[in-house]
Amino acid sequence: MRNALGRAGVDPYLLAILGTVGLAALFPARGGAAHAVSLATEVAIGLLFFLYGARLSPRAALDGAKQWRLHLTILLATFALFPLLGVAAQALTAPVLGTSLAKGVLFLTLLPSTVQSSIAFTSIAGGNVAAAVCAASFSSLVGIALTPLLTAALMGGSARVDAGSAVDLLLQLLLPFLAGQLSRRWIAGWISRHKPALTLVDRGSILLVVYGAFSEGMVAGVWSSLSLARLALLLGVCLTLLFAVLGVTTLAGRRSGFSREDRIVLIFCGSKKSLASGLPMAAVLFPASAVSLTVLPLMLFHQIQLMACTVIARRMQATRQGRGELREKPPTWRAPNVPGHPHAGGTRAVPRAPR
Protein backbone atom coordinates (compact mmCIF):
# COMPACT_ATOMS: atom_id res chain seq x y z
CA MET A 1 0.00 0.00 0.00
CA ARG A 2 2.75 2.42 0.94
CA ASN A 3 4.68 1.64 -2.25
CA ALA A 4 1.56 2.13 -4.35
CA LEU A 5 0.95 5.53 -2.79
CA GLY A 6 4.58 6.48 -3.37
CA ARG A 7 4.37 5.53 -7.05
CA ALA A 8 1.23 7.67 -7.33
CA GLY A 9 3.09 10.64 -5.84
CA VAL A 10 0.94 10.67 -2.69
CA ASP A 11 2.69 11.06 0.63
CA PRO A 12 1.23 8.53 3.13
CA TYR A 13 2.20 10.85 5.95
CA LEU A 14 0.07 13.61 4.44
CA LEU A 15 -2.85 11.17 4.42
CA ALA A 16 -2.24 10.62 8.12
CA ILE A 17 -2.31 14.39 8.65
CA LEU A 18 -5.57 14.68 6.71
CA GLY A 19 -7.00 11.85 8.79
CA THR A 20 -6.01 13.76 11.93
CA VAL A 21 -7.76 16.86 10.56
CA GLY A 22 -10.88 14.74 10.03
CA LEU A 23 -10.63 13.42 13.59
CA ALA A 24 -10.38 16.97 14.93
CA ALA A 25 -13.42 17.97 12.86
CA LEU A 26 -15.52 15.11 14.24
CA PHE A 27 -14.16 15.02 17.78
CA PRO A 28 -12.49 18.34 18.66
CA ALA A 29 -10.83 18.63 22.04
CA ARG A 30 -12.84 20.83 24.41
CA GLY A 31 -12.52 22.04 27.99
CA GLY A 32 -10.17 19.95 30.08
CA ALA A 33 -9.30 17.77 27.11
CA ALA A 34 -8.23 20.85 25.13
CA HIS A 35 -5.97 21.92 28.00
CA ALA A 36 -4.39 18.46 28.14
CA VAL A 37 -3.83 18.47 24.38
CA SER A 38 -2.23 21.93 24.63
CA LEU A 39 0.24 20.76 27.28
CA ALA A 40 1.01 17.58 25.35
CA THR A 41 1.59 19.65 22.22
CA GLU A 42 4.15 21.84 23.97
CA VAL A 43 6.02 18.75 25.16
CA ALA A 44 5.81 17.20 21.68
CA ILE A 45 7.24 20.32 20.03
CA GLY A 46 10.17 20.31 22.44
CA LEU A 47 10.81 16.63 21.76
CA LEU A 48 10.59 17.22 18.01
CA PHE A 49 13.29 19.90 18.02
CA PHE A 50 15.43 17.87 20.42
CA LEU A 51 15.45 15.07 17.83
CA TYR A 52 16.27 17.58 15.07
CA GLY A 53 19.29 18.72 17.07
CA ALA A 54 20.39 15.19 17.89
CA ARG A 55 20.27 14.12 14.24
CA LEU A 56 22.13 17.07 12.76
CA SER A 57 25.86 16.53 12.57
CA PRO A 58 27.80 19.78 13.18
CA ARG A 59 30.77 18.28 11.32
CA ALA A 60 28.66 17.74 8.20
CA ALA A 61 27.43 21.31 8.39
CA LEU A 62 30.98 22.64 8.70
CA ASP A 63 32.22 20.48 5.83
CA GLY A 64 29.44 21.82 3.64
CA ALA A 65 30.53 25.40 4.22
CA LYS A 66 33.17 24.89 1.54
CA GLN A 67 30.44 25.17 -1.12
CA TRP A 68 29.39 28.57 0.13
CA ARG A 69 28.17 29.88 -3.26
CA LEU A 70 25.70 27.04 -3.60
CA HIS A 71 24.47 27.34 -0.01
CA LEU A 72 24.16 31.11 -0.23
CA THR A 73 22.08 30.79 -3.41
CA ILE A 74 19.77 28.28 -1.71
CA LEU A 75 19.38 30.51 1.35
CA LEU A 76 18.54 33.47 -0.88
CA ALA A 77 15.88 31.43 -2.66
CA THR A 78 14.45 30.22 0.66
CA PHE A 79 14.54 33.40 2.74
CA ALA A 80 14.54 36.20 0.12
CA LEU A 81 12.88 35.09 -3.12
CA PHE A 82 10.11 33.13 -1.43
CA PRO A 83 9.19 35.93 1.04
CA LEU A 84 9.09 38.51 -1.77
CA LEU A 85 6.69 36.30 -3.69
CA GLY A 86 4.73 35.72 -0.48
CA VAL A 87 4.27 39.44 0.12
CA ALA A 88 3.01 39.90 -3.44
CA ALA A 89 0.71 36.88 -3.15
CA GLN A 90 -0.76 38.12 0.13
CA ALA A 91 -1.49 41.56 -1.32
CA LEU A 92 -3.10 40.14 -4.45
CA THR A 93 -5.18 37.38 -2.86
CA ALA A 94 -6.30 38.84 0.49
CA PRO A 95 -9.52 40.35 -0.95
CA VAL A 96 -10.55 36.93 -2.31
CA LEU A 97 -8.96 34.37 0.02
CA GLY A 98 -9.58 36.34 3.18
CA THR A 99 -7.09 37.64 5.70
CA SER A 100 -6.28 34.37 7.48
CA LEU A 101 -5.55 32.30 4.37
CA ALA A 102 -3.60 35.11 2.70
CA LYS A 103 -1.44 35.44 5.81
CA GLY A 104 -1.02 31.68 5.79
CA VAL A 105 0.35 31.93 2.24
CA LEU A 106 2.85 34.54 3.42
CA PHE A 107 3.81 32.45 6.44
CA LEU A 108 4.63 29.36 4.37
CA THR A 109 7.07 31.42 2.28
CA LEU A 110 9.02 32.37 5.43
CA LEU A 111 9.81 28.81 6.48
CA PRO A 112 13.06 26.84 6.02
CA SER A 113 13.48 24.10 3.45
CA THR A 114 12.72 20.46 4.09
CA VAL A 115 15.49 18.04 5.02
CA GLN A 116 14.48 14.43 4.29
CA SER A 117 12.62 14.98 1.02
CA SER A 118 15.21 17.44 -0.35
CA ILE A 119 17.94 14.85 0.15
CA ALA A 120 15.80 12.02 -1.22
CA PHE A 121 14.87 13.87 -4.42
CA THR A 122 18.47 14.98 -4.95
CA SER A 123 19.60 11.36 -4.67
CA ILE A 124 16.95 10.11 -7.12
CA ALA A 125 17.86 12.78 -9.68
CA GLY A 126 21.58 12.05 -9.44
CA GLY A 127 22.60 15.25 -7.65
CA ASN A 128 25.22 16.06 -5.05
CA VAL A 129 23.74 14.32 -2.00
CA ALA A 130 26.43 15.54 0.41
CA ALA A 131 25.75 19.14 -0.59
CA ALA A 132 22.00 18.55 -0.22
CA VAL A 133 22.51 17.29 3.34
CA CYS A 134 24.50 20.39 4.22
CA ALA A 135 22.16 22.81 2.43
CA ALA A 136 19.05 21.41 4.09
CA SER A 137 20.80 21.45 7.46
CA PHE A 138 21.85 25.08 7.02
CA SER A 139 18.30 26.02 6.08
CA SER A 140 16.87 24.36 9.19
CA LEU A 141 19.44 26.02 11.45
CA VAL A 142 18.93 29.47 9.96
CA GLY A 143 15.15 29.05 9.94
CA ILE A 144 14.92 28.59 13.71
CA ALA A 145 16.09 32.17 14.15
CA LEU A 146 15.21 33.83 10.84
CA THR A 147 11.63 32.63 10.38
CA PRO A 148 10.36 34.31 13.59
CA LEU A 149 12.23 37.50 12.66
CA LEU A 150 10.74 37.55 9.17
CA THR A 151 7.33 36.80 10.63
CA ALA A 152 7.62 39.77 12.98
CA ALA A 153 8.83 42.06 10.19
CA LEU A 154 6.32 41.06 7.51
CA MET A 155 3.25 39.97 9.47
CA GLY A 156 3.35 42.48 12.31
CA GLY A 157 0.48 42.09 14.76
CA SER A 158 -0.79 38.92 13.10
CA ALA A 159 1.82 36.88 14.94
CA ARG A 160 2.68 36.83 18.61
CA VAL A 161 6.29 37.92 18.18
CA ASP A 162 6.94 39.75 21.44
CA ALA A 163 8.83 39.11 24.66
CA GLY A 164 6.45 36.30 25.60
CA SER A 165 6.65 34.55 22.25
CA ALA A 166 10.43 35.00 22.23
CA VAL A 167 10.59 33.11 25.52
CA ASP A 168 8.25 30.44 24.11
CA LEU A 169 10.49 30.07 21.05
CA LEU A 170 13.54 29.81 23.26
CA LEU A 171 12.01 27.20 25.55
CA GLN A 172 10.12 25.12 22.98
CA LEU A 173 12.41 25.29 19.95
CA LEU A 174 15.92 26.58 20.49
CA LEU A 175 16.81 25.06 23.88
CA PRO A 176 15.63 21.54 22.95
CA PHE A 177 17.52 21.85 19.67
CA LEU A 178 20.72 22.88 21.46
CA ALA A 179 20.21 20.10 24.01
CA GLY A 180 19.99 17.62 21.15
CA GLN A 181 23.20 18.99 19.65
CA LEU A 182 25.03 18.73 22.98
CA SER A 183 23.82 15.19 23.59
CA ARG A 184 24.90 13.85 20.17
CA ARG A 185 28.18 12.45 21.48
CA TRP A 186 26.24 10.11 23.81
CA ILE A 187 23.10 9.29 21.81
CA ALA A 188 24.08 9.57 18.14
CA GLY A 189 24.78 5.84 17.89
CA TRP A 190 21.55 4.94 19.63
CA ILE A 191 19.60 7.26 17.30
CA SER A 192 21.15 5.68 14.20
CA ARG A 193 20.10 2.22 15.44
CA HIS A 194 16.51 3.26 16.18
CA LYS A 195 15.64 5.49 13.23
CA PRO A 196 12.24 3.88 12.47
CA ALA A 197 11.05 4.24 16.06
CA LEU A 198 12.25 7.84 16.28
CA THR A 199 10.55 8.64 12.97
CA LEU A 200 7.29 7.51 14.51
CA VAL A 201 7.96 9.76 17.51
CA ASP A 202 8.62 12.94 15.55
CA ARG A 203 5.81 12.31 13.07
CA GLY A 204 3.47 11.51 15.94
CA SER A 205 4.46 14.85 17.47
CA ILE A 206 3.40 16.65 14.28
CA LEU A 207 0.08 14.81 14.24
CA LEU A 208 -0.56 15.97 17.80
CA VAL A 209 0.20 19.57 16.76
CA VAL A 210 -2.26 19.22 13.87
CA TYR A 211 -4.97 17.77 16.09
CA GLY A 212 -4.61 20.57 18.64
CA ALA A 213 -4.60 23.32 16.01
CA PHE A 214 -7.60 22.07 14.10
CA SER A 215 -9.53 21.32 17.29
CA GLU A 216 -9.09 24.96 18.28
CA GLY A 217 -10.25 26.02 14.84
CA MET A 218 -13.38 23.86 15.02
CA VAL A 219 -14.30 25.12 18.48
CA ALA A 220 -13.78 28.74 17.38
CA GLY A 221 -15.83 28.20 14.20
CA VAL A 222 -13.14 29.45 11.80
CA TRP A 223 -14.00 26.83 9.15
CA SER A 224 -17.59 27.97 8.59
CA SER A 225 -16.58 30.53 5.93
CA LEU A 226 -14.24 28.27 3.93
CA SER A 227 -15.71 27.43 0.51
CA LEU A 228 -14.59 25.14 -2.30
CA ALA A 229 -13.95 28.17 -4.51
CA ARG A 230 -11.51 29.60 -1.97
CA LEU A 231 -9.78 26.23 -1.65
CA ALA A 232 -9.42 26.02 -5.44
CA LEU A 233 -7.95 29.53 -5.55
CA LEU A 234 -5.57 28.66 -2.72
CA LEU A 235 -4.44 25.60 -4.66
CA GLY A 236 -3.71 27.79 -7.68
CA VAL A 237 -1.70 30.23 -5.56
CA CYS A 238 0.42 27.39 -4.13
CA LEU A 239 1.06 25.99 -7.61
CA THR A 240 2.09 29.42 -8.88
CA LEU A 241 4.50 29.95 -5.99
CA LEU A 242 6.14 26.55 -6.45
CA PHE A 243 6.64 26.74 -10.19
CA ALA A 244 7.84 30.34 -10.03
CA VAL A 245 10.60 29.33 -7.61
CA LEU A 246 11.41 26.17 -9.58
CA GLY A 247 11.83 28.31 -12.69
CA VAL A 248 14.04 30.88 -10.98
CA THR A 249 16.27 28.26 -9.28
CA THR A 250 16.67 26.37 -12.56
CA LEU A 251 17.70 29.54 -14.38
CA ALA A 252 19.96 30.69 -11.53
CA GLY A 253 21.74 27.34 -11.47
CA ARG A 254 22.56 27.59 -15.17
CA ARG A 255 23.63 31.23 -15.03
CA SER A 256 25.82 30.65 -11.95
CA GLY A 257 27.92 28.00 -13.64
CA PHE A 258 27.13 25.25 -11.13
CA SER A 259 27.69 21.65 -12.15
CA ARG A 260 24.67 19.53 -13.04
CA GLU A 261 24.85 17.81 -9.65
CA ASP A 262 24.86 21.14 -7.78
CA ARG A 263 22.05 22.55 -9.94
CA ILE A 264 19.92 19.63 -8.83
CA VAL A 265 20.63 20.52 -5.19
CA LEU A 266 19.61 24.12 -5.82
CA ILE A 267 16.36 23.08 -7.48
CA PHE A 268 15.23 20.69 -4.77
CA CYS A 269 16.57 22.44 -1.66
CA GLY A 270 15.64 25.93 -2.81
CA SER A 271 12.05 25.26 -3.84
CA LYS A 272 10.52 23.47 -0.86
CA LYS A 273 9.14 24.43 2.53
CA SER A 274 9.15 22.37 5.71
CA LEU A 275 5.82 21.18 7.08
CA ALA A 276 7.65 19.57 10.03
CA SER A 277 9.12 22.93 11.10
CA GLY A 278 6.19 25.09 10.02
CA LEU A 279 3.46 23.45 12.09
CA PRO A 280 5.28 23.72 15.45
CA MET A 281 6.39 27.28 14.69
CA ALA A 282 2.84 28.29 13.82
CA ALA A 283 1.63 26.80 17.09
CA VAL A 284 4.07 29.06 18.95
CA LEU A 285 3.76 32.22 16.84
CA PHE A 286 0.01 32.49 16.24
CA PRO A 287 -3.08 32.54 18.46
CA ALA A 288 -4.48 29.04 18.90
CA SER A 289 -7.80 29.86 17.23
CA ALA A 290 -6.01 31.13 14.08
CA VAL A 291 -3.47 28.33 13.61
CA SER A 292 -5.65 25.93 11.62
CA LEU A 293 -6.39 28.35 8.76
CA THR A 294 -2.88 29.79 8.88
CA VAL A 295 -1.25 26.39 8.27
CA LEU A 296 -3.74 25.22 5.63
CA PRO A 297 -1.73 26.81 2.74
CA LEU A 298 1.40 25.08 4.06
CA MET A 299 -0.35 21.70 4.10
CA LEU A 300 -1.50 22.13 0.50
CA PHE A 301 1.91 23.39 -0.62
CA HIS A 302 3.57 20.43 1.07
CA GLN A 303 1.66 17.88 -0.99
CA ILE A 304 2.01 19.87 -4.21
CA GLN A 305 5.80 20.14 -3.81
CA LEU A 306 6.12 16.41 -3.14
CA MET A 307 4.10 15.45 -6.22
CA ALA A 308 5.83 17.96 -8.51
CA CYS A 309 9.34 17.15 -7.29
CA THR A 310 8.65 13.41 -7.60
CA VAL A 311 7.88 13.88 -11.30
CA ILE A 312 10.89 16.15 -11.84
CA ALA A 313 13.31 13.84 -10.02
CA ARG A 314 12.10 10.78 -11.92
CA ARG A 315 12.49 12.56 -15.25
CA MET A 316 16.01 13.61 -14.33
CA GLN A 317 16.76 10.02 -13.32
CA ALA A 318 15.36 8.69 -16.61
CA THR A 319 17.39 11.22 -18.60
CA ARG A 320 20.56 10.23 -16.76
CA GLN A 321 19.90 6.52 -17.31
CA GLY A 322 19.09 7.13 -20.96
CA ARG A 323 22.38 8.90 -21.49
CA GLY A 324 24.18 5.99 -19.86
CA GLU A 325 22.43 3.49 -22.12
CA LEU A 326 23.33 5.48 -25.22
CA ARG A 327 27.03 5.48 -24.48
CA GLU A 328 28.84 3.21 -26.88
CA LYS A 329 30.23 0.17 -25.12
CA PRO A 330 33.69 -1.03 -26.19
CA PRO A 331 33.61 -4.21 -28.30
CA THR A 332 34.78 -7.41 -26.71
CA TRP A 333 36.56 -10.44 -28.07
CA ARG A 334 36.43 -14.01 -26.85
CA ALA A 335 39.67 -15.87 -26.50
CA PRO A 336 39.94 -19.22 -28.25
CA ASN A 337 38.98 -22.12 -26.02
CA VAL A 338 42.37 -23.77 -26.35
CA PRO A 339 43.97 -25.47 -23.36
CA GLY A 340 46.98 -23.54 -22.15
CA HIS A 341 45.92 -20.25 -23.76
CA PRO A 342 46.36 -17.45 -21.15
CA HIS A 343 42.82 -16.13 -21.71
CA ALA A 344 41.07 -19.35 -22.66
CA GLY A 345 37.29 -18.99 -22.67
CA GLY A 346 37.40 -15.43 -21.29
CA THR A 347 36.47 -12.03 -22.69
CA ARG A 348 38.03 -8.63 -22.43
CA ALA A 349 37.53 -5.21 -23.93
CA VAL A 350 39.32 -4.42 -27.16
CA PRO A 351 41.45 -1.29 -26.74
CA ARG A 352 40.27 1.54 -28.97
CA ALA A 353 42.69 2.98 -31.49
CA PRO A 354 43.65 6.56 -30.66
CA ARG A 355 41.76 9.16 -32.71
Task: Give tens-digit pLDDT for 258-290.
Answer: 999 999 999 999 999 988 788 888 888 888 777
3-state secondary structure the chain: CHHHHHHCCCCHHHHHHHHHHHHHHHCCCCHHHHHHHHHHHHHHHHHHHHHHHHHCCHHHHHHHHHHHHHHHHHHHHHHHHHHHHHHHHHHHHHHHHCHHHHHHHHHHHCCCCCCHHHHHHHHHHCCCHHHHHHHHHHHHHHHHHHHHHHHHHHHHHHCCCCHHHHHHHHHHHHHHHHHHHHCHHHHHHHHHHCHHHHHHHHHHHHHHHHHHHHHHHHHHCCCCCCCHHHHHHHHHHHHHHHHHHHHHHHHHHHHCCCCHHHHHHHHHHHCCCCHHHHHHHHHHHCCHHHHHHHHHHHHHHHHHHHHHHHHHHHHHHHHHHHHHHHCCCCCEEECCCCCCCCCCCCEEECCCCCC
pLDDT of residue 248: 96
Quick check: 169 pLDDT over 70?
no
Quick check: 159 pLDDT over 70?
no
Highest mean pLDDT among 162-166, 180-184, 217-221: 180-184
Q: Which of 69-78, 215-224, 247-256, 265-274 is least confident?
A: 215-224
CATH number of 10-319: 1.20.1530.20
**What whole-number distance in Å separates Cα of residue 27 and Cα of residue 240?**
34
Quick check: 170 pLDDT over 80?
no
pLDDT of residue 25: 82
- Grade residue 244 by pLDDT with cuts at 50, 70 and 90: very high
pLDDT of residue 197: 76
pLDDT of residue 178: 82
Nearest to 110 by CA among 136, 160, 144: 144
Highest mean pLDDT among 196-200, 202-206, 265-269: 265-269
Quick check: 160 pLDDT over 70?
no
- Grade residue 338 by pLDDT with cuts at 50, 70 and 90: very low
Highest mean pLDDT among 194-198, 305-309, 323-327, 342-346: 305-309
Residue spans of the domains in the chain: they are: 10-319
Quick check: 328 pLDDT over 80?
no
Mean pLDDT along residues 35-61: 77
pLDDT of residue 162: 57
pLDDT of residue 153: 87
- Grade residue 330 by pLDDT with cuts at 50, 70 and 90: very low
Quick check: 351 pLDDT over 50?
no
Model pTM above 0.85: no
pLDDT tens by residue, 64-122: 567 889 999 999 999 999 999 999 999 999 999 988 899 999 999 999 998 777 888 88
Quick check: 10 pLDDT over 90?
no
Averaged confidence pLDDT in the chain: 79
pLDDT of residue 201: 77
